[in-house]
Structure 1
Amino acid sequence: MTYATVMVSLALDQPNNARLEVAGELAERFEADIIGIAAARFAPPLYFTDGIAAQRLIDQEEGSVKRRLADLEAQFRAATRTRSARAEWRSAMDFPARYVLAQARCADIIVSGGQSPVFSDAFSLVSPRDLVMQTGRPLLVVPDRINWLDSRSVLVAWKDTPEARRAVADALPLLRKARDVVIAEIPEKDDDRSAVMTHVSDVAAWLARHGVTATARVPEAGNETAVVQLERIADDVGAGLIVAGAYGHSRFRELVLGGVTEYLVTQTARCVLLSH
């Protein structure tokens, strides 16, 4: 398994340098094609006029969106000029989530920026929440402060679920290139620690059969949250990348992520590969 096509999702009025750098690096590392993608729509004001004035406003704003999409294409072309033998650009005047979710069928992995827990604009930004829960592809979330994909040390945040199993399988190309891989499961208060260790040891053995040497790690159950314990382990092993299953559900047409998944999407210290 490898990544033959890397897709990078760009956003209007958001920093895109970090995700472009990491996507280009991935394409170069795996000799993959790279696809840049973006979409946006004119967001009508709350108070609107009509007639000729209204049409003039619509034309002006749609023209602005088209120019900004063209600027994103230029940025993508410049960033990937020497990274891949084949770079492709796709854009549309559409809701970003709807457009990117439809186009994701042609990608092996999607690179996206992270997201503030409070900011969302359905007219110009596709949320990583939408991408990870609905594309059916692994999502690599790249915080804005990251300038390269440090996959020398990788932490697999294990939980014995289909999502985690899918994430580890999706991450195999990166895990094979890592120097150190640690698989950690955070036990809950009433868990049998020896049973939990069996889980992660099985995963380590599975990875070994795929050419990946991994270390199993299970901390003692305590009163700290899973996020705090996970962050401590990531710091201890110097992880530049975390691999995890993504958990959440749809409630009143809004994607609600679980606590650890929400943290991984919004944290700013390291890249995260998520699968659902």
Structure 2
Amino acid sequence: MSYKTIVAVLSAAEDAGKVTDHALALARRTGGHVVGIHAESPVVVTLIAPMEYPDPSAVLDLQERARRQSREVEQAFRSRCERDDISYEWRLFTGTAGYASAGVIDSARGADIVIAGQFDPDADGPAQEDIEDLLYESGRPVYLVSNAPAGPEPIDRVLLAWNGSKESARAAFDALPFLTAAKEVEIFTVDPPENSMQSREFCGAELAATLARHGIKTTVASRGSERHSVAETVNHRATEIGAGLIVMGAYSHSRLRQRLFGGVTSAMMRHARVPVLMSR
């Protein structure tokens, strides 16, 4: 298994270069083809002239700003691909649906992996809803590039966040190309359960045995969250072991519950310190 078709979803000029760099780094390792996608969504605001009609010049200005941003994103993408002599193509979709537009979702579904920027409320990048749409609608693993300033680095250690759910199982096997290339993989469980089927000391052991048959050097660890959130505990452990990637399932609970009460997925979208591969 390898990532041969890599979709890079580029939202703004500020994050286009970084997301493209991560896509190209992966394509160089796998001999993959990169598809750059931008969803042009003009900002819609209420613009009222004295006669209570929208000001045409202001509307035209917003449209031109959206087109200018699209050109900047495309230039950042094309220049990097041509510099690295990587097989690539560019796709532009226009509408108000953002990442949920049919073109973006259809392109993502035809890929091996989707790469996008991490949600940052203080930057002109993808909104949380954009990333949720990719996770819920694409059916593909989504690799979120963290907001940390560092560029793509070789991933020698991977932290696989495991809770026994079908989402975390899917993420583990969607991430096999990263796991097999890594020098070490840690299966990490926060607050492992104790039940009649399995003791907390053996949580993740069966998965470790499966990955070992792929030639992956795997260790198993667990920790109680104590007074910290699960996301904080996972991030802290990733820092402790020097992980260059976190692999985890997304939305084990419903999307509505995540919206109302928060959750690990939403927290990792905002606060992950290294790239995160999520599957649902």
TM category (shorter chain) comes to 0.7 to 0.9
Cα distance, 1:257–1:37 mapped onto 2, change above 3 Å: farther
Task: Provide the rounded CA distance (Å) in 1 between the counterparts of 2:273 and 2:76.
Answer: 24
Q: Which residue of 1 aligns with 2:99?
A: 97
Cα distance, 1:255–1:227 mapped onto 2, change above 3 Å: closer
Cα distance, 1:112–1:238 mapped onto 2, change above 3 Å: same
Structure 1-normalised TM-score?
0.87
Cα distance, 1:229–1:268 mapped onto 2, change above 3 Å: closer
Instruction: For residue 23 of structure 1, give the secondary structure of its aligned residue in structure 2.
Output: helix
Task: Provide the rounded CA distance (Å) in 1 between the counterparts of 2:52 and 2:234.
Answer: 57
Task: Provide the rounded CA distance (Å) in 1 between the counterparts of 2:21 and 2:230.
Answer: 31
Instruction: For residue 269 of structure 2, give the secondary structure of its aligned residue in structure 1.
Output: helix
Q: Which residue of 2 aligns with 1:249?
A: 254
Q: Which residue of 2 aligns with 1:28?
A: 28
Deviation at 1:269, TM superposition (A): 1.8
Deviation at 1:40, TM superposition (A): 1.9
Q: Deviations over 1:189-223 (max 9, x none)?
A: x6359623333110100111222121011225744
Cα distance, 1:272–1:187 mapped onto 2, change above 3 Å: same
Q: Which residue of 2 aligns with 1:132?
A: 135
Matched, 1:234 2:238: yes
User: How many residues are paired up?
Assistant: 273
Q: Which residue of 1 aligns with 2:165?
A: 161
| Larger displacement relative to structure 2 (133-142 or 57-66) | 57-66
Find 2:146's aligned residue among 107, 130, 143.
Answer: 143
Instruction: For residue 146 of structure 1, give the secondary structure of its aligned residue in structure 2.
Output: coil
List runs of 5+ in structure 1 lacking aligned partners. none
Cα distance, 1:8–1:256 mapped onto 2, change above 3 Å: farther
Matched, 1:213 2:214: no
Task: Provide the rounded CA distance (Å) in 2 between the counterparts of 1:243 and 1:74.
Answer: 31
Contact in 1 for aligned 2:155/2:245 (Cα 8 Å): yes
Contact in 2 for aligned 1:149/1:271 (Cα 8 Å): no
Deviation at 1:168, TM superposition (A): 0.3
Q: Which residue of 2 aligns with 1:18?
A: 18
Deviation at 1:121, TM superposition (A): 8.2
Contact in 1 for aligned 2:8/2:37 (Cα 8 Å): yes
Contact in 2 for aligned 1:41/1:93 (Cα 8 Å): yes
Structure 2-normalised TM-score?
0.85
